[in-house]
Amino acid sequence: MWTLNPLESGGVTHYLLPEKEYVVGRKNCEVILPNDQSISALVLASMNLVL
């Protein structure tokens, strides 16, 4: 399992399973990173984590 911990107060910790794909973006996604301007608001990219 991977853990994404927020760097800012009030952020959400995400727990990610290695065999699952997650959609990451600034809104309407499984993993929301609202303050990361390098990620599109409507991104459809996914990441596949392998341990």
pTM of the entire structure?
0.62
Give the pLDDT confidence score for residue 45 in this predicted structure.
Answer: 47
Reported as a single tens digit per residue, the pLDDT across 15-39 is 988 888 888 888 888 888 777 777 7
30 in a domain, yes or no?
yes
What is the chain's mean pLDDT, rounded? 76
Total domains present in the chain: 1
pLDDT tier, 13 (very low <50, low <70, confident <90, very high otherwise): very high
45 in a domain, yes or no?
yes
1 in a domain, yes or no?
no
31, with CB counted inside 10 A (0-12, 13-18, 19+), is middle
8 in a domain, yes or no?
no
31 in a domain, yes or no?
yes
Highest mean pLDDT: which range of 5-9, 22-26, 44-48: 5-9
24 in a domain, yes or no?
yes
> In terms of residue numbers, what domain contains 50?
20-51
43 in a domain, yes or no?
yes
The backbone region for 22, taken as left when phi is positive above 0, alpha when psi lies in -120 to 50, beta otherwise, is beta
19, with CB counted inside 10 A (0-12, 13-18, 19+), is exposed
4 in a domain, yes or no?
no
